[in-house]
Amino acid sequence: MTMITTRLLRCLRSRQLHTIVSQETIKPSSPTPPHLRTHHLSLPDQMAPNSMIRLLFFYKNDTVVGDVNILKKSLSQTLSSYYPFAGRFLAPSMPIIDCSDQGVEFLEVSNDSRLSDFIFKRDLDESILDQLIPNYAIGENPNLAEVRLNHFKCGAAALGLSIPHKLGDGFTMANFFNH
């Protein structure tokens, strides 16, 4: 089953339906130097749980996010500094990342609901958040990092980021986003 089909089925199972506008792999703007092509996880990173670090940023107005192509270009430039994010685990159980510049998934979606439907929902469950933030188990998706730009019908936007905890922590994600 293709990744898009899997995501579409996941969307159909959830409460709100969104439409995939575009899906592409964003690669680093400059290649990873040969001496950095293999990234060995530190012992603390190896012991980190097989979970994802997920961040979600809300914007009242879609224009704050700006031109999607500028966002993609910025991501590409940032990946040159965060080169392991664009790599792949050699195997799920191996503590080695092949920093081969394969890229990260950038998914742009149009959501049929309003931003307030998500923010003010009192019984917010994880299946609703999964529509906004990339969520998968390690080994389920070859991409180490994933970015999802959500456009709401009210003109707002949400930007979701996700990386394996073995690759970074909240501080790493904040720096990556600020870059």
Residue-wise pLDDT for 71-84, tens only, equals 999 999 999 999 99
For residues 142 and 88, is the Cβ–Cβ distance under 8 A? Answer: yes
What's the confidence (pLDDT) of residue 51?
A: 81
Domains of the chain are: 3-178 (3.30.559.10)
| Residue 136 scores a pLDDT above 70 | no
For residues 101 and 87, is the Cβ–Cβ distance under 8 A? Answer: yes
At residue 12 the predicted structure's pLDDT band, cuts being 50, 70 and 90, is very low
- Residue identified by tokens 């998968």 is 136
What's the confidence (pLDDT) of residue 122?
A: 55
The Cα 24–Cα 1 span in angstroms is 18
| Residue 13 scores a pLDDT above 50 | no
The Cα 104–Cα 168 span in angstroms is 15
Three-state SS for 165?
coil
Q: What are phi and psi of 47, to 5 degrees?
A: -85, -10
